[in-house]
Every structure is written in C-alpha cells, then in structure tokens.
Amino acid sequence: MAAIGRGILRRGIVGLPAVGSGSAARSMASWFGHVEPAAKDPILGVTEAFLADPSPEKVNVGVGAYRDDNGKPVVLECVREAERRIAGRLNMEYLPMGGSIKMIEESLKLAYGDDSEFIKDKRIAAVQALSGTGACRLFADFQKRFLPDSQIYIPIPTWSNHHNIWRDANVPQRTFRYYHPDTKGLDFASMMDDIKNAPNGSFFLLHACAHNPTGVDPSEEQWREISYQFKVKKHFPFFDMAYQGFASGDPEKDAKAIRIFLEDGHQIGCAQSYAKNMGLYGQRAGCLSILCEDELQAVAVKSQLQQIARPMYSNPPVHGALVVSTILGDPELKSLWLKEVKSMADRIIGMRNALRENLEKLGSPLSWEHITNQIGMFCYSGMTPEQVDRLTNEFHIYMTRNGRISMAGVTTGNVGYLANAIHEVTKSS
Ligand code: PGU
C-alpha cells in the first residue's frame, strides 16, 4: 500500500473513525485477531535463521540444496545452455492443465525406463506438478478423493513436510519403522513387520532413493523382499523420488527400487522432482505419475488429477518445464546433465570422506563410520537437538534439530571448522 494510503488509514478520512480507534474497526479485524504466528518450519526456518546471523563464520548445512566447493549455489551448465536455446524463441501462453506433454514424456522415461512397456501401452496417468512437494500433494488429494477412508503409512523418520502434506489433504497417518539409531542403518526386520502387520491394501510412502533425512536405503535384495511382501499384502506403493541421481551419481541406477516394483507387476504412484538433480529448486518443476491398469483408466485418472489442480493453481509454470524437456530431449544436453549429476554426487561423497577423516584425526571417541556409509545428500549424524543447538549458538553452524547434516553444504573450506565444532559438542557424550 502506498505511504499516502497508509497515512489516511491511520489519521482517518473525514467523517470516518481512524483505523484502530473505534469499535467498528475492532470488529472488522476481529475474525483473525486471534491468529498466532505459525511454528517455524523445521527445515526452511533454519535458512531464515542462517540469513539473519551476521557472523562471517556461519555455515548452513540445513536445507538440502547443492552448493559448489565455494559454498555458492550452482546453475548447471546444461541448464544454462537450455536457457540459451529457449531464450526469445517461445511465447508465454498457459500450459495445458496437466502441464507440458514433452516434459511429462521425458520424466516418465527417466522414472520408468526408456523402453518401458507401460509408456508404450499408455498406461501411465501423469501431470506436471509443482516440483516434488506439489506432486506429493496432488497424489494425497487424489487418494483422499477416491479412497476417502484410506490412510498413509509414512516411515519414521521422514522429510518433515510429508506429515504436513498428508495432514492438509486430510488423510490419516500411520507410521512404519525404518531406521535404527544404534546401527545408524536400516531397521529392516521392524520395517518388514510393520508392512506385514498393516491392514491389506494400505498406502505406503517410500523414498525411491537417498532417503531423507537418514541417507539409508534398502539394498536391492531388500527392495525385492519389500516388493514381494507388498504383493502379498496388496499394499499400494507411493514413491517420492526427489533425489534421482544423487544416491549413486546415475539416475538410471537410482530408479532401481521403482523398476523392481514394476517388474513385480505393482501399480505404483511416483512423485519426481528436478529441484536437486537439475538444480531447478525455485522453478518448481516436477511430475506426478500413476501407473494404471490400462489406457482408458489412465485417461480418466489424468483428467481427475487435472481437475484437482485447476482450482488450486490452474496450470503449472512453463519455464522449468521447458528447461527439463530441452535437456532431456537432446542427447548432447542429456549426456552433459548426466556428467553434472555425477560430479555433484561425487563432490558430496568426497565431503563425506573429509568430514569423517577430520573427526577421526581430532581423536573423536565416537564412531563416524555412518557418515561414509550413508548416501545421498544427507548425513543423519546421531547428534541430539541440544548438541545441534550448541553448534548453532556457539559456532554459527545451522542445521535441522534432528541432527541432519546437508552434506551438499559442506566444502573444502568449512569441513575442518565443522568437524572441530562437532567434536567439541559430542566428545563428552
Ligand atoms: N521429497 C523429499 C524427500 C525431499 O527431501 C524434498 C525436498 C521434496 C520432496 C520436495 O522438494 P521440491 O523442492 O518440492 O521438489 N527437501 C529438501 C528441500 C527443502 C524443503 O524442505 O522443501 C530438504 O532440505 O529436506
């Protein structure tokens, strides 16, 4: 509002009471007068606190966003080249409600495989989504609309926003065991028990690869057992694939869990995000797909997904989708992308080794083997919320209070400082 406008509101226009000075004004504001500030987001709130800290030493290993070895955000070269090719050549018309057909086609090849029979048979209902979050939310709304009494089983722990997404879609949540704090690895036996004990036909949220926050994935053999048990129980697997390429450095390998389920004849749902693997964070580029029984069903499901999207945001944004389809649709740009994904994954692996070595050199009495055993963007360090608070208050190191370190924010320049601080707050535990 312009300054003049604000002045009039404060002073009051002749004949009307000034805002805040009369009972009419109070009742006008009263319907939301009781609103309290919302709790800070456990992940994005960390970035806010980091930005507000004036210390030159500060380090942000909170949000899962890739940084180069100077701690700077990265725009991939394949993305820059795609933007050069796009620039000035296209109009800004609305995309269809379901988004860019080309981008969806390329996304499906990435998740289901170039030669997927399901793509050929047009059995997959898919829409462009507002990145991974939007894809999960569309799915949750679809689940609620067409199976209103269903629930969702979510791993403990998981990405904090999963809980918000299914809560806001009014889908009741159940949890299943996933991680063992003692071994800092997978609690496979408990996970299988929870899968077996869930009512037949339950919905399960699975991280396709590079589980957030633990960095712990089932092995191929374990995925096969999980898939088998899902078949027995007729459970529905929904894969959140936000890190395809970040686990192994190869997007094809990272789709293995999904491919195993497909081989076993499951119908699946899948959320894809290009935030991390293409560095398109703020462009909100993603895809939701649901494998259906046949083409007819896929057409119906897609039309319903579009109908859910229409009153929320009408149609998805165009720029990120164009970047994705330009890269994946061009063999030369796609191979450049694959190289760049690999180099991001490799830099993170290098930093895992460096952090562990530094801690061991400092003579830490604790085992830090899990730093190099875990994969993907995160290290689930095992630090307590109180230890994390000390890192923040005494060392200006910002991370989520569950002890998760975003390895993507660790650099040659800050790894020594980080290791030293971690050692200080953990050595007497
Ligand atoms: N699914 C998982 C498992 C994620 O970790 C994330 C991002 C998403 C979906 C959603 O990403 P989109 O940007 O919507 O594609 N998690 C990051 C980024 C920050 C956040 O919480 O959104 C993180 O730091 O956990």
Q: What is the DSSP string of 313-372?
A: HSS--SHHHHHHHHHHTSHHHHHHHHHHHHHHHHHHHHHHHHHHHHHHHTT-SS--HHHH
How many angstroms is it from 400 CA to the middle of ligand 1? 13
Among 223, 240, 256, 337, the active-site one is 240
Asked if 212 and 351 sit in the same domain, the reply is no
Asked if 155 and 60 sit in the same domain, the reply is no
Mean pLDDT, rounded, for 156-168? 98
Asked if 100 and 249 sit in the same domain, the reply is yes
Asked if 311 and 348 sit in the same domain, the reply is no
Asked if 243 and 275 sit in the same domain, the reply is yes
- Residue 248 Cβ < 6 Å to ligand 1: no
Condensed to tens digits (0 to 9), the pLDDT of residues 100-132 reads 999 999 999 999 999 999 999 999 999 999 999
Ligand 1, atom nearest to 161 Cα:
21
* 289 vs 273: CA distance, rounded Å: 12
| Structural domain total, the chain | 2
Using alpha carbons, select from 14, 12, 31, 33 the residue that is nearest to residue 22. 12
Condensed to tens digits (0 to 9), the pLDDT of residues 252-269 reads 999 999 999 999 999 999
Kindly indicate the confidence band of residue 345, based on its pLDDT and cuts at 50, 70 and 90: very high
CATH code, 133: 3.40.640.10
Domain end (from 329, 361, 384):
329
- Supply the residue whose CA is at minimum distance from atom 4 of ligand 1: 242
CATH code, 61: 3.90.1150.10
Would the pLDDT of 404 be above 50?
Answer: yes
Asked if 246 and 368 sit in the same domain, the reply is no
- Residue 107 Cβ < 6 Å to ligand 1: no
Asked if 322 and 372 sit in the same domain, the reply is no
- Residue 240 Cβ < 6 Å to ligand 1: yes
Kindly indicate the confidence band of residue 429, based on its pLDDT and cuts at 50, 70 and 90: confident
The pair of three-digit structure tokens given for residue 39, joined into one six-digit string: 């709790």
- Residue 283 Cβ < 6 Å to ligand 1: no
Instruction: Give yes or no: 240 in active site.
Output: yes
Higher pLDDT, 301 or 7: 301
**Domain assignment of residue 224, given as a range:** 95-329
Condensed to tens digits (0 to 9), the pLDDT of residues 25-82 reads 555 578 999 999 999 999 999 999 999 999 999 999 999 999 999 999 999 999 999 9
Would the pLDDT of 359 be above 70?
Answer: yes
Q: What pLDDT, on a 0 to 100 scale, did the predictor assign at position 27?
A: 54
Ligand 1, atom nearest to 207 Cα:
3
Asked if 387 and 349 sit in the same domain, the reply is yes
Tell me, yes or no, whether 267 lies in a domain: yes
Tell me, yes or no, whether 150 lies in a domain: yes
Condensed to tens digits (0 to 9), the pLDDT of residues 410-419 reads 999 999 999 9
The pair of three-digit structure tokens given for residue 179, joined into one six-digit string: 């991680």
Contact 257, 218 (CB under 8 A): yes
Tell me, yes or no, whether 313 lies in a domain: yes
Asked if 350 and 283 sit in the same domain, the reply is no
Mean pLDDT, rounded, for 277-286? 98
Tell me, yes or no, whether 5 lies in a domain: no
Domain end (from 282, 302, 329):
329
Asked if 132 and 258 sit in the same domain, the reply is yes
Tell me, yes or no, whether 108 lies in a domain: yes
- Residue 286 Cβ < 6 Å to ligand 1: yes
Condensed to tens digits (0 to 9), the pLDDT of residues 1-39 reads 333 334 333 443 444 444 444 454 555 578 999 999 999
Mean pLDDT, rounded, for 346-358? 97
Condensed to tens digits (0 to 9), the pLDDT of residues 323-332 reads 999 999 999 9
Tell me, yes or no, whether 12 lies in a domain: no
Among 144, 184, 256, 276, the active-site one is 276
Domain end (from 272, 298, 329):
329
Asked if 317 and 351 sit in the same domain, the reply is no
Tell me, yes or no, whether 186 lies in a domain: yes
Strand partners for 204: 153, 237
Instruction: Give yes or no: 53 in active site.
Output: no
Instruction: Give yes or no: 276 in active site.
Output: yes
Describe the strand order of the beta sheet including 124-130 as a list of residue ranges.
124-130, 285-291, 269-273, 236-241, 203-207, 152-156, 173-177
Asked if 196 and 229 sit in the same domain, the reply is yes
Q: What pLDDT, on a 0 to 100 scale, did the predictor assign at position 163?
A: 98
Condensed to tens digits (0 to 9), the pLDDT of residues 192-222 reads 999 999 999 999 999 999 999 999 999 999 9
Tell me, yes or no, whether 89 lies in a domain: no
